[in-house]
Amino acid sequence: MFVLEYLVEPIEDIKFESFPGYYLRGLFFNTLKKYDEKLALRIHESQSIAPYSIKIFQKVDTGELLRNHIKARQQVKFSFTILDENLFDLLKEPLMVNSSFRIAGKLMNVREVNVQKKSFSDILSNSKPLKEKFAIDFLTPTSFRLPLTTCCKHCHVYKRLKARIQTKDKETAELLAMINNRRGIIYPLPDIKLAFYNIVRLIKRFEVLSFNSDEFNSWLDVESVVISGFENGIKTLRYYEHKTSNKFFIGFIGKVNYYVRNNTEDKSRIANALLSYAELTNVGPNRTAGFGSIRLLN
């Protein structure tokens, strides 16, 4: 994984009509199109896990996210995270040579580009167990996709379903059809298990997973990590991709507190590493537009 962080400065004020991550995703693809239009189209139309994520604009001095407006001559930063090393090799030149670009029709000068190489195995090797009480600050709207079944492998319904799939009888077919109705459902609530499932899936796609995911899921299945509260509440936001479009994304923001009920050292250390990884990649759907950005407060 490679993180390209840009330090930029707009020539004039910029006001966003929608979420700024949409503009940055447009910049990413416009840059890629100039280099390889077929590759840009292939990535854009792919139904598989996206090989990149975006962090939206934030102030350099305070880290405050800028969702609506950037002042002229204000120093801000944003980043592209490229998860596929082969893709980075293809993109590093076009993504790093620009001395300026346009966002919302306004010119921005690039002052500096920094590149960091990260991997989950390195993060895990340096990870400590989660504290018994920790929090996650969901900085940009975040959602999760519900799995087809919420059953864990200990559930007798899950076991029966798995065993009977092979028979393809009418009852099983009807059950599978009913379960398939869950596919793609967006769940805008801070379910920590859904977050971990998403992060593990992301790592499996682009790296070698250096722990037993079945054992980790079994640890999650017995509610080893639970929500302990959100004293300031969470807020649900909806962003339309275009002013005239009906296409939108919905997610929550806010600080959520969690409690580790079963603080097994090795599993807790893995959980900490997964959340640290997600700080770089974002979590949930629409990472490519800057949604799902989190900060771990451990």
- Which residue ranges form the domains of the chain, and what is each CATH number? 2-117 (3.30.70.1890), 121-146+184-297 (3.30.70.1900)
Instruction: Evaluate whether 106 touches 268 at the Cβ level (below 8 Å).
Output: no
How many CB atoms neighbour CB 202 within 10 A?
23
- Kindly tell me the burial class for residue 200, based on how many C-beta atoms sit within 10 Å of its own C-beta (0-12, 13-18, 19 or more): buried
Pick the residue with more confidence: 245 or 213? Answer: 213
pTM as predicted? 0.89
Instruction: Evaluate whether 101 touches 108 at the Cβ level (below 8 Å).
Output: yes
Pick the residue with more confidence: 133 or 47? Answer: 133
- The answer on pLDDT for 75 being more than 60 is yes
pLDDT digit string, tens, across residues 113-172: 999 999 999 999 999 999 999 999 999 999 998 876 555 555 555 555 555 555 566 776
Instruction: Report residue 173's pLDDT band, with 50, 70 and 90 as the boundaries.
Output: low
pLDDT of residue 159: 57
**In this prediction, what percent of the chain has a pLDDT beyond 90?**
68
Instruction: Report residue 87's pLDDT band, with 50, 70 and 90 as the boundaries.
Output: confident
Pick the residue with more confidence: 64 or 151? Answer: 64
Query: Half-sphere exposure (CA, 13 Å, Cβ side) for 66?
Result: 21
